[in-house]
Amino acid sequence: MTEVTGLRPRLLAWQVLQAVGGGAYADGALERVLQRAGRSLTSADRALVTELAYGTVRQRGLLHGWLDQLGKVTASRQPPKLRWVLELGAYQLLCCRGIPASAAVNTSVELARAVGLVRLAPVVNGLLRELGRRHQGDEPWAGLALPEDAAASLALRRSLPPWLAASLLQWLPADQAETVAAACNATPRLDLRVNPLRASRASVQEALAAAGVTAMPIDGLEHGLELSGRSGDLRQLPGYVEGHWSVQDRSAQRVVLLLDPQPGELVLDACAAPGGKATQIAECCGDRGEVWAVDRSEARLNRLLRNSQRLGLGALQVVVADAAALAELRPQWLGRFDRILLDAPCSGLGTLARHADARWRMTPGAIDELATLQHRLLLAMAPLLRSGGRLVYATCTLHPLENRQQLERFAAEHPGWQLLQQWQRWPGDGDGFFAAALQAP
């Protein structure tokens, strides 16, 4: 039997959903599925698998809202294999303007048959066709009955957990909460950081342009570039192997600018993996001085080391350790560091567009636990900084408990410390980040 056109990428995306349903992280599940497919998959199909898998996971709340209203059985009570087929089909109908409705429905019916749901294929056909008739308008929720409660409506329309939608409306005016919620579902920008030790921004732009890739400067970032119209393996682009650039979100780049490391200084990146900021620190220092990258994961630090070698950085050194115990593990570091970056473990609420399943994994209880850990780490950094040294506390989250309230608590316990600057960037122009610079007495 001849394979139905377009079925294979949808089958692979369905396999990603199956893995995520079994507890796997979306990015890891996608990587494994694409690796198994190998070179037999075209670049266009790889991009389609990625879009369908990530988009369907990200929009799960909205998709379930539609399935609940259209089906005889709610989404949560449907057999998982069927639910994943319906989710994929619904996502294409609601969110993929480049896919004709007929293709979305027909491939979903064939997908049902391909995964052993032959008897349920008519259910898929009927429900998705009804969705196509009911959905009228540009927005993916157009035609869906929405709750009157503002938080519940925001949660459904923007596919957010109810607790997070309610929190956004507490933190922000309604229009700003809507903007941030929409940004959580947008395709994230692809930013590069040029390594000034090996290339200039202009030379990287020229090399990429010669390869057919457009790279535009990012306002306020001397070494920042935004790529457009590019997908696939970025390591194949000119300059990667030579260490001319790294992939790093613009908001993350600004954190190190706040740290402002200088050549010859002793700098600590306390929770360093995966290492984007540690390598940026070494670049900012002109690769002169000592940059110590600490993390509990040896495997992730090894990847950091390989990346630093690609970038030609000799000042960066790694230590496998719990940052909260550095005063005991490395007493010779007490009062020595000129600058310390604590990019603390956090809920990641500022990076939901980048991590499709993160919104469904995080809970308020987990945030409370993270806040406790963040406070421990902040306390552990204080004795390592020299008098007059700079400590930057940063997170990629939006939650005040992890950000502003952490600083307030630290300030109450350390009255001699001075707050130099702090900022909160909301998702949209880069990831959502919080950063604050403190000076030791």
CB distance 26 to 16 below 8 Å: yes
- List helix spans (H) across 59-136: 60-70, 80-95, 101-114, 121-134
Determine the Cα–Cα distance for residues 340 and 292; give it in Å rounded to an integer: 10
Tell me whether residue 396 is one of the annotated catalytic residues.
yes
Helix (H, G, I), strand (E, B) or coil at 117: coil
- Helices 26-37 and 43-58 sit at what angle, rounded to 10 degrees? 160
Token digits of residue 39: 């070179």
178-207 burial, b at 16+ Cβ within 10 Å, e below that, comes to bebbebbbeeebbbbbbbeebbebeebbeb
From 95, 184, 284, 396, active-site residue: 396
What's the angle, vertex CA 212, arms to CA 211 and CA 213, rounded to 5? 95
CB distance 318 to 289 below 8 Å: no
21-39 burial, b at 16+ Cβ within 10 Å, e below that, comes to eeeeebbebbeebbeebee
CB distance 91 to 135 below 8 Å: no
Q: Distance of CA 63 to CAs 223, 224, 255, 319, 426, Å?
A: 40, 36, 36, 45, 25
CB distance 268 to 294 below 8 Å: yes
Identify the H or E element spanning 227: strand 224-228
Residue 248: what residue type? Answer: Q
Q: Mind telling me the catalytic residues? A: 396
